[in-house]
Amino acid sequence: MQAERNRGHGDNVDPGITEEATMSIDQVMTKAHSLIASDRVEGTVVRRPNGEKIGHIERLMIDKISGKVAYAVLSFGGFLGIGASVLPLPWARLSYSREQEAYQLDISPEELAKAPSFLADKDFDWGDRSQEEDLHRYYNVPPYWGSF
């Protein structure tokens, strides 16, 4: 029983609490729902709608004030991480495909080649609002902070 297992971990478990009420965090995080832990998004493959792999999500950028995910940082190209390009994508541009168990980005190879990006060993200036505006204009999505 979960309640009995929790007793050995320093928790004071009320014998009247049901097993469901004492589920571990791992059990909660694996139940089917629309929320996902950020560490489970990082490393997730990004594919085109036809299933072709583009890259993977390196990290998420979250607005500290609103708490909204602003960007997914896509890593692609290179070999074993060397020479990889890093592409900041407005979060609104991605969708999740349950069938592919991947995030989808509807972008042609030509659009991807022209997209604002930076090398993995360089850093994007997240404090430069003009760079962020350029990203949102390129992808034709409204900015996470409201309007231009």
49: domain CATH number is: 2.30.30.240
* CA–CA separation, 90 and 132 (whole Å): 9
pLDDT for 23-41, tens place per residue? 555 555 556 667 888 888 9
- Domain residue limits at 122: 38-139
Q: How far is CA 94 from the centre of its chain?
A: 9
Burial of 90 (0-12, 13-18, 19+ CB in 10 A): buried
| Residue among 97, 115, 94, 119 at smallest CA distance from 106 | 94
pLDDT for 133-148, tens place per residue? 988 999 999 999 887 6
- Tokens representing 122 are 């360089």
Global model pTM greater than 0.95: no
Give the confidence band of 3 by pLDDT, cuts at 50, 70, 90.
very low
What's the pLDDT score for residue 122?
61
Give the sign of the dihedral formed by CA 4, CA 12, CA 40, CA 97.
positive
Does 53 share its domain with 119?
A: yes
